[in-house]
Amino acid sequence: MSTAREQPIFSTRAHVFQIDPATKRNWIPAGKHALTVSYFYDATRNVYRIISIGGAKAIINSTVTPNMTFTKTSQKFGQWADSRANTVYGLGFASEQHLTQFAEKFQEVKEAARLAREKSQDGGELTSPALGLTAHQVPPSPLVSTNGPGDEKLFRSQSADAPGPTERERLKKMLSEGSVGEVQWEAEFFALQDSNNKLANALREANAAAAQWRQQLEGQRSEAERLRQRVAELEAQAALEPPPVSEKEGTGQTLEQLEALVQTKDQEIQTLKSQAGGPREVPDTVEREETQQKVQDLETRNTELEHQLRATERSLEEARAERERARAEVGRAAQLLDVRLFELSELREGLARLAEAEP
């Protein structure tokens, strides 16, 4: 099919159906979604066509003739029979306004096709050699509708024996009336099917989001449990350390004892120095040497005590710094635990809202 010499004159979107060629009673949808349906005009041949393309093939390729009739079978559904294609097309529109516009355009195109035919026949009375009918006696399409014993809608091809005018008019009227309930049900069914697909996709997305939230919730729970264990370990470690007051008192007592001992030794050194440097009538070399040795020993001991005092002070400062670091770490862990617990609470609220929103 080529539309290079044809120009579109009207386009709309609708769900396209064709009658089932096997049963002649059920509609077969051309696709899951609405398609573009257009009127084309071929100026070379003075022909109007209704065309709808689905993928790489033509779903509708119907040449409009004066004998065709577009029938509204519901507020959003219409149909027409194409004798050349030996089928019946149905269109389900999104609104009654779109259906009305398409029907009005169909009537305009049909009238234009009739005028073109009259012009080609020099404006004389249009007659059909095969049926002997005037232009106002429109023969029915080869696919007509009839109601059987159970008011069941049936479509069949026109037989070789053409029925009489009265029978044709009766069949044409039945085709126009159609089975409104069945056609409307078909259109509503596919509309509901589209809505159901959208809802199913939304539900799948919600389930995926809920699964992701559950994973995040499990991760937050694990992190909170780890933080609780860390806080418990830090508290246990802090409990094992001596209280700050007792440690300070013990260290203070040690420092006081060392200072007192240093002062005592200093006094002894001064006493010995004074004794060694005082005037003596009979100097004793041995005693002086012993005294000097004692002085040296005391000075050495004094130096050791001073070193021990400085080492004790450093140990005290390090112990205080370590305790401050432990307290800071406990504080940070407690703050992080509070944040995780708050996030966990928000996740629970989100899951609760999602569970309430799910049908």
- pLDDT tens string 170-196: 555 555 454 444 555 656 666 676 777
Residue 91 inside a domain? The answer is: yes
> Tell me, what's the pLDDT at 131?
30
Q: Identify the three-state secondary structure at position 132.
A: coil
The string of pLDDT tens digits covering residues 21-58 is 888 888 999 888 899 999 999 888 889 999 998 877 88
The span from the CA of 214 to the CA of 207, in Å, is 10
Confidence of residue 119 (pLDDT cuts 50, 70, 90): confident
Q: Quick one: pLDDT at residue 341?
A: 86
Q: What CATH number is associated with residue 73?
A: 2.30.29.30
Q: Would you say how long the chain is, in residues?
A: 359
Exposure letters 179-198 (e unless 16+ CB within 10 A, then b):
beebbbebbeebeeeeeeee
- 252 located within any domain: no
- What is the total count of domains within the chain? 2
CA distances for 147 relative to 22, 74, 165, 180, 330, angstroms = 17, 18, 19, 13, 87
Give whole-number Cα distances, 149 to 146, 164, 177, in Å.
10, 22, 17
* Domain interval for residue 302: 291-358
pLDDT tens-digit readout, 228-279? 888 888 888 877 865 555 555 555 667 777 778 888 878 887 787 776 665 5
Q: Which of these three, 79, 103, 119, is where a domain ends?
A: 119
Of 65, 98, 119, which one is at a domain's C-terminal end?
A: 119
Q: How far apart are CA 162 and CA 246, in angstroms?
A: 121
Phi and psi at residue 179, to the nearest 5°: -110, 90
pLDDT in the model for residue 197:
78
What is the token pair recorded at 273? Answer: 């120095």
Q: Does residue 53 sit within a domain?
A: yes
CB count in 10 Å sphere of residue 174:
16
pLDDT tier for residue 76 given thresholds of 50, 70 and 90 = very high
Token code pair at residue 353 = 């809202």
pLDDT of residue 83: 87
